[in-house]
Amino acid sequence: MTTTATPAKEKGLLGTLAGGRSIPGRVVPVLATFVLFVLLFGVGAGRYDGFTSGQVVANLFIDNSFLIVLAVGMTFVIVTGGIDLSVGAVVALSTMVAAAGLGAGLPAPLVVLLVLAMGSTLGLLMGLVIHYFEIQPFIVTLAGMFLARGLCFVVGVQSISIKDPTFRSIATASLPLSANVSITWSVVIALAIVAVAGWVLHRTRFGRTAYAVGGNENSAMLMGLPVARVKVGVYVISGICSATAGLLFALYMLSGYGLHAVGMELDAIASVVIGGTLLSGGVGYVLGSLLGVLVLGVIQTLISFQGTLSSWWTKIAIGTLLLLFIVMQRVFMRRQP
């Protein structure tokens, strides 16, 4: 019987600090992402006045709070060796359900509960099909993506404006950090989810089992770990995070629309991979995914400050970085003993 592949990955992938001390190789991609973030931010600071202002940094979180939450859920799924292509469509469906529910006069807390229940139910159903019918996550979540996107247009074809005073007050409220810097409640919610998710993934039995499943599912089963519960559970977590991201996106846009968040699942996957999570599973950090989102945010900010480049250059830069980090992953994997 073999043990889970996670320790092997940790021992086989070694980096070296400046002082000569060895560090686990799974930390190296996260450090690389952090260095990349600092370099990109340094480029912006050197070229554009005002780039280093506190509000510019705060805006990185404000404009990407929903993507941060989405990337957190995707991290759990990819750590187990899975994938979830439905998250962008679930975000759109969440905005539609929230807008339609609020427009029908339902109280905001009830709408929030309905959206979270919908997201967790979709995640549960996909997780059950993936595990018990042994169907590839790519196929199941692709079907989930079409289902969620189709349900958006069952709710409504046109964009639905959110006029509920509770939602609008939360969306427009600012939390001052200093005289010139403020954030929104969406940032607070996103960072709270990052903290909770980091604790769950890195400090609980559920999280350790998720790493074991991603490292070697058969070994995890032979060790008596609750593989089924964890494999299904990560998709439930992804569904809840997608629904939460949808609520934050609804606050950001103050509308529900079936074409919201088109391609956002790819941004989430890119953020997670750039943040150091292996697509093969078994290695990854929630903090790395947060850094991955911030790297994407800095690229968008650089293009915005530059002023003459098309927004499509963001996609080109993201694609280049994604390819680079996937190549890095392959190099690390080949160094395993």
Over residues 175-230, the pLDDT tens digits come to 999 888 999 999 999 999 999 999 999 999 999 999 999 999 999 999 999 999 99
Instruction: Give the integer Cα–Cα distance in Å for 261 and 265.
Output: 8
Least confident of 116-130, 155-169, 311-325: 311-325
Q: Which sequence spans correspond to the domains of the chain?
A: 28-38+54-334
Instruction: Give the integer Cα–Cα distance in Å for 255 and 246.
Output: 11
Instruction: Give the integer Cα–Cα distance in Å for 259 and 157.
Output: 9
Over residues 216-258, the pLDDT tens digits come to 999 999 999 999 999 999 999 999 999 999 999 999 999 999 9
Q: How confident is the model at residue 322 (pLDDT cuts 50, 70, 90)?
A: confident
Q: How confident is the model at residue 1 (pLDDT cuts 50, 70, 90)?
A: very low
Over residues 7-50, the pLDDT tens digits come to 444 444 444 444 445 666 678 888 889 999 999 999 999 999 88
Overall average pLDDT of the 164-173 stretch: 94
Q: Nearest 5 degrees, angle CA 290-CA 295-CA 95?
A: 60
- On the question of pLDDT at 261 being above 50, the answer is yes
Q: What CATH code is assigned to 28-38+54-334?
A: 1.10.3470
pLDDT computed for residue 330 by the predictor: 72
Q: Per-residue DSSP letters for 235-255?
A: HHHHHHHHHHHHHHHHHHHSE
pLDDT computed for residue 211 by the predictor: 96
Q: What sign for the dihedral angle of Cα 196, 202, 206, 212?
A: positive
**Average pLDDT of the chain, as a whole number:** 89
pTM for the full model? 0.91
Query: Both tokens of residue 328?
Result: 């890095």
Reported as type and span, the H/E element at residue 234 is helix 227-253
Radius of gyration of the chain, Cα coordinates, nearest whole angstrom: 20
Overall average pLDDT of the 151-160 stretch: 95
Instruction: Give the integer Cα–Cα distance in Å for 288 and 274.
Output: 8
Q: Which one, of 108, 103, 119, 79, lies nearest residue 245 by Cα?
A: 119
The 8-class DSSP code of residue 263 comes to T
- On the question of pLDDT at 296 being above 70, the answer is yes
pLDDT computed for residue 62 by the predictor: 96
Q: How confident is the model at residue 260 (pLDDT cuts 50, 70, 90)?
A: very high
Overall average pLDDT of the 257-273 stretch: 95
CB-based contact 40:299 (threshold 8 Å): yes
Three-state SS annotation for 275-308: CCCCCCCCCCCHHHHHHHHHHHHHHHHHHHHHCC
pLDDT computed for residue 156 by the predictor: 93
Over residues 46-67, the pLDDT tens digits come to 999 889 899 999 999 999 999 9
pLDDT computed for residue 306 by the predictor: 82
